Each structure stands twice: as structure tokens, then as C-alpha cells.
């Protein structure tokens, strides 16, 4: 293949989770293979870069596999920290978690999310307990819309609790995956 760009799918070796998509030219692919650390070609900056060169969140190569046409590459890695620039484990983060991170970063005085996170873990924990009880009560009724609404509140506040403790929901997924027997 010429020096065209290849889509590079980055996958966590232990969980199978897709972490990100980047682009590699021949030089990035060669450096990735030789150094054991993932390198990309930045289309916006038109230059080569190593993932984690400024953040320290490098991607250590386990395996590099080209597809049948050699126009895409799968790189299985062990990640040294979050992969996404927003601090998430994966760039393919669910909408709600990304929204919570965004609201935390904006830290607006009128943001419920920012206010809850400023208040600390104990308030988030109390809200999870409150929402859990409300979901149980709703589930004993015939009102499916209420059950969905209360489940949404519990889900949301559980994510706030995780964030207040500096945890990523990916850790919960990993725990559940480890129980899949």
C-alpha cells in the first residue's frame, strides 16, 4: 500500500472495548510496530504524533493486525490511563456520561450536575438511595412511564456518584463482564 492513511481501530486487549479511531500512514504504522507504543498521523496538524506524548496516557501495543485489503488496522493495546481527551476510558463514551463530564468541566453555577459534584460524594450517595426507593415504589404500580422515569433518575444519579468518586462507568462494565460465566 502507498502512503495513504489507514483507519486505525484501537481496542483494549483485556476487555475488547473499542477505545478510539485514529489514522496511520506507513510511518505511523512502522513506529507503532517498532516502539510498542501507538503512533498516529494527525490529519488536522499534518504530522506524526504518539498517543500520550503530552498526557502520559500511552497505548502499549499487544498486537497489530491489518485487514484483508490492508487499508485498515486493528491495534490491540493496554492503555496507561484514559484514552479520550475528555478523560473517558473510550472515545466511544455513552451520551449521558459525556454530558456529565461536559457539565463538570463548564462548572456553571446554575448546573445541577456541577452543583452535585461540588457537593461531594455523600449528597450523590443520598440521591442514589432516594432514587432507588422511588424506582422500587414505581415498579409496584401499573405506570410503565413512571418506572422508566424513575429508572432514568437512578441511572443518572448513579453516574453522578461514580463521577464524584473519580470512577468511570467502564469500571462497572468491566466488573459485570468479569461476572459473565
Tell me, yes or no, whether 111 and 161 share the same domain: yes
Confidence of residue 88 (pLDDT cuts 50, 70, 90): confident
Tell me, yes or no, whether 165 and 111 share the same domain: yes
Structural domain including 36 reads 6-79
Q: Which residue has the cell 492503555?
A: 79
Tell me, yes or no, whether 116 and 156 share the same domain: yes
Instruction: Taking residues 132-155, report their average pLDDT.
Output: 98
Tell me, yes or no, whether 106 and 161 share the same domain: yes
The string of pLDDT tens digits covering residues 8-63 is 999 999 989 999 999 999 999 999 999 999 999 999 999 999 999 999 999 999 99
Average pLDDT, the chain: 95
Confidence of residue 67 (pLDDT cuts 50, 70, 90): very high
Tell me, yes or no, whether 63 and 123 share the same domain: no
pLDDT at position 180: 86
Does residue 125 carry a pLDDT above 90?
yes
Strand 72-79 and strand 6-12: the pairing is parallel
pLDDT at position 2: 56
Does residue 130 carry a pLDDT above 80?
yes
* Count: domains in the chain: 2
Q: Is residue 89 part of a domain?
A: no
Tell me, yes or no, whether 59 and 110 share the same domain: no
Tell me, yes or no, whether 99 and 69 share the same domain: no
Are the C-beta atoms of 108 and 114 separated by less than 8 Å? yes
Q: Is residue 67 part of a domain?
A: yes
Report the CATH number at residue 170. 1.10.287.1080
Amino acid at each position: 500500500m502507498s502512503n495513504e492513511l489507514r483507519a486505525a481501530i484501537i481496542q483494549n486487549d483485556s476487555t475488547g472495548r473499542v477505545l478510539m479511531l485514529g489514522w496511520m500512514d506507513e510511518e505511523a504504522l512502522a513506529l507503532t510496530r517498532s516502539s510498542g507504543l501507538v503512533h498516529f498521523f494527525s490529519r488536522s496538524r499534518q504530522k506524526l504524533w504518539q498517543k500520550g506524548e503530552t498526557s502520559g496516557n500511552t497505548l502499549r501495543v499487544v498486537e497489530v493486525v491489518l485487514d484483508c485489503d490492508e487499508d485498515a488496522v486493528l491495534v490491540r493495546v493496554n492503555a496507561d490511563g484514559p484514552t479520550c481527551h475528555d478523560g473517558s476510558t473510550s472515545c466511544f463514551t455513552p451520551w449521558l456520561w459525556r454530558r456529565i463530564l461536559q457539565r463538570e468541566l463548564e462548572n456553571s453555577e446554575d448546573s445541577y450536575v456541577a452543583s452535585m459534584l461540588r457537593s461531594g460524594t455523600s449528597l450523590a450517595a443520598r440521591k442514589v438511595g432516594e432514587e432507588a426507593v422511588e424506582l422500587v415504589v414505581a415498579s409496584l404500580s401499573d405506570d410503565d412511564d413512571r418506572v422508566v422515569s424513575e429508572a432514568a433518575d437512578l441511572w443518572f444519579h448513579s453516574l453522578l456518584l461514580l463521577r464524584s468518586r473519580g470512577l468511570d462507568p467502564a469500571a462497572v462494565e468491566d466488573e459485570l463482564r468479569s461476572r459473565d460465566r
